[in-house]
Amino acid sequence: MTDLSSVARRALPLLDLTDLSDGCTDAAIDALCARAETPVGNVAAVCVFPAFVARAKKTLAGTGIAVATVVNFPAGGDDTVAVEAETDKALADGADEIDLVMPYRAFLAGRPGFAETQIVRVKRRLGAAHKLKVILETGRLVEPAAIRAASDLALGAGADFIKTSTGKVDVNATPAAAEIMLTAIRDSGRPAGFKAAGGIRTAADAAVYLDLADRILGPDWASARTFRFGASGLLDDLLAQLGHGAAAKPSAY
């Protein structure tokens, strides 16, 4: 039987605590940043819309918590110049990590070179201190072969992490997609990370993904440098498993 308190202790510092809700406000960002510092340790990062990067950066100064933001979100569009400009503004405002939605529609339409070029061009704008997470939107890629090809493409284009989902479609993170992506990271032979996002609400959910990472990449692989959970509600259940609140209801895949 899985020891959920051990899972919670392991998962909490891997969390990108997220608010990408429609109608997000300054007050919501302040609350998010306050939640990111918990009685049992800090999360890895907060993930917010670009408009809130500067506020989050100022609020979290000195905490060691990174500020992540999203670009080309959520549609994964084709306007690379606009995506570059969005990235530049986010970096100027203090973003530490950029979560880029790969232009997955172009990829699915037989234009992988376009998708690769956009990733390369965004990656070039990031200095060594900034991480690029490429969102594949696996729920739209659907087929295992497409998920593997997109993973290989993003890793080859310089992604520091590959991420499952935006959380804005009907199918987001799944263990099946995660297994393909983690295997691609292993096979790439380069230091890259994995982020599971969308629909991960409980410590039991988190355990599924950590177990996959342990099996495919080894029990010492997953750390904040290589593994993240993107979620808004997961923190509450992790804290509950550690004696700080009420546990969430189980999820079903």
CA–CA dist 135, 197 (Å, integer): 9
Contacts of 35 (CB under 8 A, 6+ apart): 17, 235
Closest CA to 80 of 124, 41, 26: 124
Q: Which residues are catalytic?
A: 99, 163, 195
Amino acid 89 reads: K
* Three-state SS at 114: helix
Amino acid 207 reads: A
Query: Using CA of residue 63, residue 28, residue 169, residue 209, what is the dihedral sign?
Result: positive
Closest CA to 10 of 249, 244, 238: 238
Contact 200, 229 (CB under 8 A): yes
